[in-house]
Amino acid sequence: MLKRLFLLAVLAGVAGLCIFWWLTIPAVVAANSLPQYTPNLANGLTTFNAGGCSSCHAVPNQPDRLKLGGGLPMPSPFGTFNVPNISPDPKDGIGRWSEADFVTAVLKGTSPAGAHYFPAFPYASYQHARVEDVRDLFAYLKTLAPVTGKARDHDVPFPFNVRRNVGVWKFLFMDGKPFTADASRSAQWNRGAYLVNSLGHCAECHSPRNFLGGIVDIKRFAGGPNPEGEGWVPNITQKRLSDWSAKDFSYFLESGLTPDGDTAGGAMARVIRNTSQLSPEDRTAMAEYLKSLPAVEGPPRPKKAEKS
Amino acid sequence: MKRVLLVAGALLLSVGVGVAQQDAVNGAQDAMKANGKNLGGVLSPMFKGDKPYDQAAVDAALTQLDDTAKKLPTMFPASMKDAKWEGDFSPSPKIWEDKAGFDAKVASFAKAVTEAKAKIKDLDSLKANFPGIGKECGGCHETFRVKKG
């Protein structure tokens, strides 16, 4: 009897491992699934600015936002991620990547070597991007100057450093669906929704996360503790920003100035450096969409520490 | 008796230091709020076309910003490190850890304001020079201000 139970347990264990293995196979976009395409460099630049690539991948503490050598440390509750080099350098950057490698990385969060990237790389948003935009972006990145030097390895402790586990995270928190337009809304609103939810990846910081680091969906855009540690990321739904007009939103994305004369600070200052480069039409579209976000109560703020 | 006096004196002194520190905190917050009022209430609306251009209002706003620029180098003394900050924001400790970096930001803000004062004479020159000021504000807040939890 005992022997049989033991056998059963072993079998269940093996089955569980198989399921885990199957569930966590990194997804890949095959090269032959990409049709012939002539990339549009101007749209690649738009994608680059909307995607905020340089916010994280630019070499920190220097003024050139097109120097994509990486190296910025991103603290998180799961450890510190060091942003990699995505310049076209063949050795330290993505110079040797195929287009399919790049599309796979951005849309699936899988590296050319077939490993899961950590979701500090916001592929949970980028998965909704149009494949043409990503292909244009790849062509655009190729035009930038190569930067030598690799970033340090991520400093992420067990069990989060087991890449295969990220497959479970993806299973839980990625839907794999492309962006679908809402036919009842204007073309401008849909463009804004696309930019905000895919490339812009606004929700990645402006939403609270659960203990596994997944976005709490019903609180999307309602702000929360800064995932990078210090301070609080504000609620950007109409709960807090109802006195902002759509024009205020687009002006903020252009200048970093709020209607009350304050400015974006912290990581948002880097975001503005990208959105200020977008076309006024794209900013207006994002503004229309953001203005339409229903009011959502954010997570409670901790009581302010009263210390002398 | 001597001891009582000494203790009382020490207490008074620490209260005094506390009050001075609080004054400095309030002073910094008032200056920043005044900047915000002038940017959000005067310069931005003219820039956006929500308000007509008004040279007197522009001059008054720039004078106040200039006043802030003059105060900024001494606005965050090291003695302020453990001060209590009411409201949404507090200075980042980086102000004191990277004093040279902070001073450079302050100097470049002052330069932008001085230039704006010399150049802004009509709506076109406002459009050309105002964004530079906003960039300076944001450039400093990026590193040296913390949004509190």
- pLDDT tens for B41-65 read 999 999 988 999 999 999 999 999 9
User: How near does any CA of chain A get to the CA of B18, in Å?
Assistant: 9
Chain B interface, Cβ < 8 Å to A: 18, 35-41, 44, 48, 82, 84, 89, 92, 131, 134-135, 137-139, 141-142, 145-149
Q: Name the phi and psi angles at B91, rounded to 5.
A: -70, 145
- Residue A304 clears pLDDT 60, i.e. is over it: no
Sorted by sequence, the CB contacts under 8 Å of residue A21 that are 6+ apart come out as A164
Decide: helix, strand or coil at residue A117: coil
- Residue B101 clears pLDDT 80, i.e. is over it: yes
Best CA proximity match to B114, nearest among B70, B81, B49: B70
Q: Which CATH superfamily is domain B2-147 in?
A: Cytochrome c/b562 (1.20.120.10)
Decide: helix, strand or coil at residue B55: helix
Across residues A158-185, what is the average pLDDT?
Answer: 93
Q: Name the phi and psi angles at A202, rounded to 5.
A: -60, -40
| Cα separation, B47 vs B44, whole angstroms | 5
| Cα separation, B139 vs A34, whole angstroms | 41
Question: Encoding tokens for residue A185?
Answer: 């809304």
Q: Residue A303 — pLDDT band, cuts 50, 70, 90?
A: low
**A159 prior amide bond cis, ω within 30:** yes
From residue B106, alpha-carbon distances to A41, A170, B73, B101, B138 in Å are 38, 44, 7, 9, 12
Chain A interface, Cβ < 8 Å to B: 225-226, 230-234, 247, 251, 255-267, 269-270, 272, 301-302, 304, 306-308
Are residues B147 and A234, on separate chains, in Cβ contact within 8 Å?
Answer: yes
The secondary structure of residue A214, as a DSSP letter, is -
The secondary structure of residue A90, as a DSSP letter, is T
> If 0-12 CB within 10 Å is exposed, 13-18 middle and 19+ buried, where does residue B43 land?
buried
| Cα separation, A88 vs A85, whole angstroms | 9
**pTM score, whole prediction:** 0.87
The answer to whether A269 and B142 have CB atoms below 8 angstroms apart is yes
DSSP H or E run through A73: strand A73-76
Best CA proximity match to B29, nearest among B80, B78, B89: B89
Residue that is written with structure tokens 């969409």 in the block: A289
Q: What percent of chain A has pLDDT over 90?
A: 88
Q: What is the mean pLDDT of chain B?
A: 89
Report pLDDT for A308.
35
Report pLDDT for A306.
42
Are residues B148 and A251, on separate chains, in Cβ contact within 8 Å?
Answer: no
Could you tell me how many CB contacts below 8 A there are between chain A and chain B?
82
Q: Name the phi and psi angles at A73, rounded to 5.
A: -80, 130
- Residue A307 clears pLDDT 60, i.e. is over it: no
Report pLDDT for B106.
95
DSSP lists the bridge partners of residue B147 as B89
Q: Name the phi and psi angles at A16, rounded to 5.
A: -60, -45
User: How near does any CA of chain B get to the CA of A240, in Å?
Assistant: 14
